[in-house]
Amino acid sequence: MRIRVMEIGVGAFLLAGMVALLMLALNVSGLNLERKNTYKVYARFENIGGLTERSKVTMSGVLIGQVSDIRLDQDALQALVEMEIHEEVDFLSIDSSASILTAGLLGEKYIGVVVGAEEEYLQDGDFFEDTQSALVLEDLIGKFLFNEVSE
Amino acid sequence: MDSFEDVIIDIQNLSFARGERAIYNNVDIQVPRGKITAIMGPSGTGKTTLLKLIGGQLKPDQGSILVAGKDIPRLGRRELFDMRARMGMLFQSGALFTDISVYENVAFPLRVHTDLSEEMIRDVVLMKLHAVGLRGARDLMPSELSGGMARRVALARAIALDPEIVMYDEPFAGQDPIAMGVLVNLIRRLNRALGHTSIIVSHDIQETLGIADYIYLISDAEVIARGTPEEIANTSSQKVRQFIDGLPDGPVPFHFPAGDYQSELLQDS
Amino acid sequence: MLDLVARLGHKGLKKLEAFGSAGVILMQALVARPQPFTMLPLVVKQIHFVGVLSLIIIVVSGLFIGMVLGLQGYTILVDYGSEQAVGQMVALSLVRELAPVVTALLFAGRAGSALTAEIGLMKATEQLSSLEMIGVDPLRRIIAPRFWAGFICLPVLATIFSLVGIMGGALVGIDWLGIYEGSFWSNMQNSVDFREDILNGLIKAVVFGFVVTWIAVFQGYDCVPTSEGISDATTKTVVYSSLSVLALDFVLTALMFGDL
């Protein structure tokens, strides 16, 4: 009987460990277990200003994908950002624009997509033609000061 | 020097040193089959070491230890473990496994070395425990036993596999007279009944003289006397007499080697 | 002077030798002839001793450390008006650092020292010798199950520590200090990554489990079988494993998060 109690204890202990790991994964890291099918689109930016891999891609504030890769495009001398967009979001017209935005004043960077008017939609491997780089605070302050001086 | 008809353990030219100190220096010991042989000597002469050498837990610097024709120090790991299944050893402290019950302690060697079914193991364990008179204590934990009982359980464990050789390391040390009597009786009875060879390492003279068939007396890394209990008891050698009669001073000096007493006292520190 | 150098060299060699024999013991205990059927019940028993019985101390300290983190984080972050980042701070510091390290330190004190003392006492009472005489390798019978148990338990304990700590942080942050619940959790979920943070923390715990148990069983197996010897070995277990955990934590952090 003592042996049985011990074995049940050990089983419960290991189970508790696994449940704890699962809760950490789901509640703390917000891991999504169902892997959504995605397609890839690209965008070139003058300046990504702190955008990182796994940053969110949103449309009207709704999550539609994430940044999967960032590298330097050697021909265009611009940052090339690869995004994985959820499959069911298949209505991004080819003249949609992608801009790098900031959540709050000092928050994280993410990409916001605004849909255009064309009938044709972006396919796997297409590029956003219309992009807007990250706002860099220093540039902004510089412009502001310049305007003040010139007045 | 008399020789035996049937020698089970034959130790020749054994030398063993621990650091600088020689424990054995060219020692020859023969143990006859089926008898009780006692190894005696003052504390610190490495009697336990001898048992460990026979069991293959230590390797001698020189010499051979033939047990049933096999040279222990030259055996491979596998053969040595098989050989140990044919030996039982009763440790000075009993050395019961403190985390399992008396029953499981006795069953342990059976589970390791045999494929017996659970009922068979149960029968053997109960038989062995009955032989030492502790069948009723099978569900106790070792911490609940008295010293003498623990030693008897350890004895049951040592004979669980019906070994050819049973080695006893100081079986009488620290026992009250009743427990000691029980143990003496048990050792003798088991030896007669099971027909194994017993080796007893001890410095309890009366008990050992009482049950041993043959005695080796060891001192200063050498065998200083050997013979039957009568021969030992009647020997005239001063060293042997001092040990047998328990004299405080003699060839084995009372004082540990030291400088001159008076000069050391007068000396400034 | 020369004497000093010689003594230093001698000491170094001795340490190296001890390290070598610890490695040999580990190899012999783990590599040679695995016997899963005789081994499993022994491992279960040891998990009970080193894992299940350490659970209470782990849960209690996890809870308090999470609560302290929540409180401290709040008092600092509220100055910058970003108190909703408390969740992120509590979760990251627990998952990445505090859970593996504090669990390993507590484990060394609670279970490591007990392992050392137990094995040392077995040596002193001739139980290890007696196993050998029965024809069982004590390394496989005594050392290996204890080693595996420690190895398995520490990551489990560290995970539980993390979770309880985060719940403690949430309790203080949300219920007592009134941080808005939604932003507390979403901030946390946005910043904690499963692979990067949680799995890396778990890897740390696995490494610490390996090191702490290794030190504990080696100190026990190698100790001088007297009362002083055992108490000495127990102290050494706690000191050595704490130091190794802290030093290794730096190395692992540098490798995982430091871009070195």
**C-beta neighbour count of B6 within 10 angstroms:** 9
Distance separating the N- and C-terminal Cα atoms of chain C: 40
Q: Write out pLDDT tens, residues B7-18.
A: 788 888 888 887
User: Are B217 and B23 in contact, with CB atoms under 8 Å apart?
Assistant: no
Using DSSP bridges, classify how beta strands B62-67 and B7-18 pair: parallel, antiparallel or unpaired. Answer: antiparallel
3-state secondary structure of B38: strand
| Candidate from B57, B82, B94 with C-beta closest to C132 | B57
- Which one has a higher pLDDT value, A34 or A23? A23
Nearest residue, CB atoms, C133 vs list B84, B94, B96: B84
CB contact under 8 A, C125 and B95: yes
Q: Which of C189, C199, C200, C202 to mutate to test the interface with A (most CBs of A within 10 A)?
A: C189
**pLDDT, mean of residues A28-37:** 68
Whether the CB of C35 is below 8 Å from some CB of chain B: the reply is no
Q: What is the pLDDT of residue C242?
A: 94
Angle at B124 between CA C141 and CA C134, to 5 degrees: 30
Distance CA B39, CA B107 (A): 29
Query: Which pLDDT score is estimated for C36?
Result: 59
Chains A and B touch (3+ CB pairs under 8 A): no
- Is residue B58 packed enough to be buried (19+ CB in 10 Å), middle (13-18) or exposed (0-12)? middle
Residue B46 has pLDDT above 80, yes or no: no
What the block records as the tokens of B110 is 């059976």
Residue B147: pLDDT band (50, 70, 90) is: confident
Task: Provide DSSP, A28-84.
Answer: IS---SSPPPEEEEEEEES--TT--TT-EEEETTEEEEEEEEEEEETTTTEEEEEEE
Q: Report which DSSP code applies to A120.
A: S
Q: Residue A78: is its pLDDT beyond 70?
A: yes
C243 CB-near residues (< 8 Å, 6+ apart): none
Strands (E), chain C: none
In this structure, what DSSP letter does residue B30 have? Answer: E
Chain A, 27 to 66: residues with Cβ < 8 Å from chain C are 27-31, 54
Closest CA to C136 of C122, C150, C151, C115: C122
Q: What's the count of helices (H) and strands (E) in chain A, helices before strands?
A: 2, 8
Q: What is the pLDDT of residue A104?
A: 66
Greatest pairwise CA separation for chain C in angstroms = 70
Q: What is the pLDDT of residue B181?
A: 83
Of the given ranges (B2-11, B128-137, B187-196, C58-67), which has the lowest mean pLDDT? Answer: B2-11
- Token look-up 């400088």 returns B259
CB-hemisphere CA count at 13 Å for C151?
12
The Cα–Cα gap between B46 and B65 comes to: 16
Which tokens belong to B104? Answer: 């499981």
User: By C-alpha distance, which of C223, C220, C232, C56 is closest to C143?
Assistant: C220
Q: What is the tens place of the pLDDT at every residue in B91-136?
A: 877 788 888 888 888 888 888 888 888 888 888 888 888 888 888 8
pLDDT, averaged across chain B = 81
Q: What is the pLDDT of residues B191-235, one digit of tens each?
A: 888 888 888 888 777 778 888 888 888 877 778 888 888 887 777
Average pLDDT over residues A74-82: 87
**Choice between B96 and C26, residue whose per-residue pLDDT is larger:** B96
Question: Average pLDDT for residues C6-19, to the nearest whole number?
Answer: 83
The reply to whether residue B89 touches residue C127, judged by beta carbons under 8 angstroms, is: no
* Interchain touch C–B (≥3 Cβ pairs closer than 8 Å): yes
pLDDT in tens, A44-60: 888 887 787 778 888 88
Collapse the DSSP code of C120 into the 3-class scheme (helix H, G, I; strand E, B; otherwise coil) and give the result.
helix
CA Rg value for chain B: 20
Q: What's B239's domain CATH number?
A: 3.40.50.300
**Residue carrying the six token digits 């709050």:** A104
Verify whether the Cβ–Cβ distance A20 to C155 is below 8 Å: no
pLDDT given at position B1: 46
What the block records as the tokens of C233 is: 């070995």
Residue pointed to by tokens 């005789």: C38
CA distance A18 to C157: 10
CA distance linking residue A137 with residue A107, whole number of Å: 13
pLDDT of residue C4: 84
Task: Map residue A112 onto helix, strand or coil.
Answer: strand
- The answer to whether residue B71 is domain-embedded is no
Residue C175 at interface with chain A, using a CB cutoff of 8 Å: no
- The helix (run of H) or strand (run of E) holding residue B182 is helix B177-194
Residue A106: its pLDDT value, please?
Answer: 62
Burial B112-140 (b: 16+ CB within 10 A, else e): bbeeeeeeebeebbeebbebbebbebbee
- 3-class SS at A139? helix
If one counts the domains in chain B, the total is 1
**Chain A within 8 Å of C48 (Cβ-Cβ)?**
yes
Edge-to-edge strands, sheet with B62-67? B21-32, B7-18, B62-67, B70-71
CA-CA-CA-CA torsion sign (C220, C225, C227, C232): negative
Confidence of residue C33 (pLDDT cuts 50, 70, 90): low
B45 three-class SS: coil
C78-116 residue pLDDT tens: 888 777 788 888 999 999 999 999 999 999 999 999 999
Q: Please name the residue of chain A whose CA is at the shortest distance from the CA of residue C184.
A: A28
Of C154, C70, C186, nearest to A28 (Cα)?
C186
Chain C hits for B50, Cβ within 8 Å = none
- Chains near A, with 3+ CB pairs < 8 A? C
In a domain, B236, yes or no: yes
Cβ contact C62:C161 at 8 Å: yes
Q: Kindly report the number of other CB atoms within 10 A of residue B31's CB atom.
A: 22
Residues from chain A that touch C44, judged by Cβ atoms under 8 A, are: 6-7, 10
The amino acid at residue B72 is I
Q: How confident is the model at residue A28 (pLDDT cuts 50, 70, 90)?
A: confident
Nearest CB neighbour to C189, from listed A7, A30, A106? A30
Please tell me which chains touch B, using 3 or more CB pairs under 8 Å as the contact test.
C
Q: Amino acid identity, residue C80?
A: Y
| Residue bearing the bigger pLDDT, C150 or B247 | C150
Six token digits for residue C205: 């715990």
Placement of tokens 């209505």 in the chain: A91
Q: Return the ∠ at Cα A83 (arms to A82 and A87), rounded to 5°.
A: 140
Confidence label for C156 from pLDDT (cuts 50, 70 and 90)? very high
pLDDT band at A132 (very low <50, low <70, confident <90, very high): confident
**CA-CA distance, C53 to B171, in Å (whole number)?**
38
Gap between the Cα atoms of C40 and C28, Å rounded:
18
Phi, psi (degrees; rounded to nearest 5) at B86: -95, 0
Q: Which amino acid is at C154?
A: L
Chain C residues inside the 8 Å CB shell of A31? 194
- Residues C147, C214 contacting (CB under 8 angstroms): yes
Mean pLDDT to the nearest integer, C42-48: 87
Please choose, from the candidates C143, C249, C260, C257, the residue with its C-alpha nearest in 3D space to the C-alpha of residue C206.
C249
- C189–A20 CB contact, under 8 Å: no
Q: Chains with ≥3 Cβ pairs under 8 A against C? A: A, B
Distance of alpha carbon B175 from alpha carbon B151, whole angstroms: 10
A 10 A CB-CB count for B234 gives: 11
Please give, rounded to a whole number of angstroms, the shortest distance from the CA of B2 to a CA of chain C: 31
Q: How far is A40 from chain C (nearest CA, A)?
A: 22
Residue carrying the six token digits 């009993």 = B94
Percentage of chain C lying above the pLDDT 70 cut: 96
> CB distance from A7 to chain C under 8 Å?
yes
pLDDT confidence of residue A2: 58
Domain ranges of chain C: 39-257
Å from C81 to nearest chain A CA?
11
A139 at interface of C, judged by CB pairs closer than 8 A: no
Asked whether the beta carbons of C58 and C110 are under 8 A apart, the reply is no
> Buried b vs exposed e over C167-182: b needs ≥16 C-beta within 10 Å?
bbbbebbbeebebeee
Residue C108: its pLDDT value, please? 93
What is the predicted pLDDT for the residue at C259?
Answer: 61
CA angle A107, A109, A114 (to 5 degrees): 120
Query: Mean pLDDT in chain C?
Result: 87
Mean pLDDT of B228-245: 77
Judged by CB atoms closer than 8 Å, whether chains meet at C193 and A25 is answered as no
State the DSSP code for C79: G
Could you give the CA distance from residue C139 to residue C24 in angstroms, rounded to a whole number? 11
Using pLDDT thresholds of 50, 70 and 90, give the confidence band for residue C31. low
- When CB atoms are compared, the residue of A9, A29, A106 closest to C192 is A29
* Cα distance between residue C73 and residue C76, in whole Å: 5
> Is A6 an 8 Å CB contact of chain C?
yes
> Quick one: pLDDT band at residue B189, thresholds 50, 70, 90?
confident
